[in-house]
Structure 1
Amino acid sequence: MKKLSIFFIILAIGFCAGTVYFCVKSTTLNNENEILKQQVSSLEEKIDELENGEERLVAFIDTAYSEKNYEEAKKQIANLKARHPESKKIPDYDKLLTKIESIEKELELQRQKEEAEKERLANLNNTGMWCIRHYVDSFGDPTTDKYISLSSRLKGNFSNSAVTDDELGVQFLIDNKNEIAIQLFEYDGNHSVTGEYSFPVDTYLSYRCADGKEGKLIEGKNTSDRFVFGKNASLTIHNALMTGEKVKFQMTTYRYGTYREGSYNFEVDGKYYDNAYRILTTGK
């Protein structure tokens, strides 16, 4: 019995010793783990400093700008401001950002011009809504005299003492840049507005280009079935169409010099007009 008691005492002492050892070991491991965490955090801070230190970011910015990598330069300037708001280089880089913005705008304009030139070259024979036609003789046969017209009538609207904003058909007849005529078809019917040699219908034309450029009091005269514009007036209309943009026109007509007869409004797309005019004048 005495031997059994001694055995249990020894067993208990061993158990307690083991528990103490385990607790000490566990504490040691926890301490080592904390130390490792601190070391990792310290290393991460050092790595971050190496990657995003002020001097390194300044070098990145200067290199990116010198290599015309403006997106990277802007990115690193933002990085510098976020990580080093006290940096004395920030005012200089604010000025640099303004310069970069100006450069990027110029580059975008240049890109647009290049794209427009590529489109122009790819569409040299495209005349869009414009077409080349031949005048006909008294027998209805085509002559060698050519002109530019619209492939189909434009749609617009007109108003006079009897109607408001009713349908209008419009056709252009362009012999050259100095000889332009316009036909107006009220109600988009088969017969255009007419005048007579003894009693012509006068018109004053105004226009507005897409870029805001305007022209007013451009005079034309109708002694048959079309409004004919003189050399200077025709050249003004031609130049508006040569912009290649949409052009709004407004024509006011007068009979007997002072009697206001009607107001006519329509919009013309000048896209590819330059191609049509080149083909008209050069044949290719």
Structure 2
Amino acid sequence: MQYEGVLNKMQTEFNNPIEYYLVFKNNFLNINQILDRTIQIEFVGYECLNCGEHKKIFRQGFCYDCFYKSAEVGDWIMRPELSTAHLGIEDRDLAYESKVQLQPHIVYLALSSDVKVGVTRKTQVPTRWIDQGASKAIEIVEVPNRYLAGITEVALKDTFTDKTNWRKMLQNEIATEDLFAIRESLLDKLPEEVKSYFDTTSNRLLDLNYPVLQYPTKIKSLNLEKTPSFEGKLKGVKGQYLIFEDGTVFNIRTYEGFVVNINIQ
């Protein structure tokens, strides 16, 4: 079987285990169905996810020009406390920013390596947790906009990391912490304007199981620009990573906007 197309982050379906799909323009590939099979990945070129031009990808699937112009990659994406749509202030495109920022957001705790605090739109639950390779996750507060979520995350960064140790996550070295108990201890640490949302937020703990046949003991990352052709036996998927038998891991998210040819043997 052969597939060619532009890489986007894998689409997922919450199941036991999680279902993963690589979706291209004219077809799609169910990753779970090709576990334990040999896959060849060949780098063909670039295609910006924003303008569609065949220009070198700069970051997040965008070419250099689009990365610094598009509202989809403003600074408030990575730093939600910088959101200003609730004040009617534009960063790059107020209509887009209002659509994204002025909707319910979740501040959460996740176990993907250590205990991590993060922010996501409510519509992205549990997709965001799956993309991070979290084994467990729990909501702290649901707030009506991205700014409130952002200042909550900032308030908790002194207590928890906001980054995932991707090596630990892929080797399944997960901290054993009681997220429910930790959540119950956080009320006094929340910003005053957020505390009223604590009791109205769900405290359900979610467990996530990934389709992994073999976790790597030593990890090496596949760099498509340095190694434009790679072949290996697929042993698992976690987060947005493909895991191969020899310990090679391939982060699909890093290579969004890359055109590839995938051959399944």
TM-score range with shorter-chain normalisation?
Answer: under 0.3
Larger radius of gyration: 1
TM-score by length of 2: 0.20
- Name the structure where helix makes up a greater proportion of residues: 1
Larger relative contact order (CA 8 Å, sep ≥ 6): 2
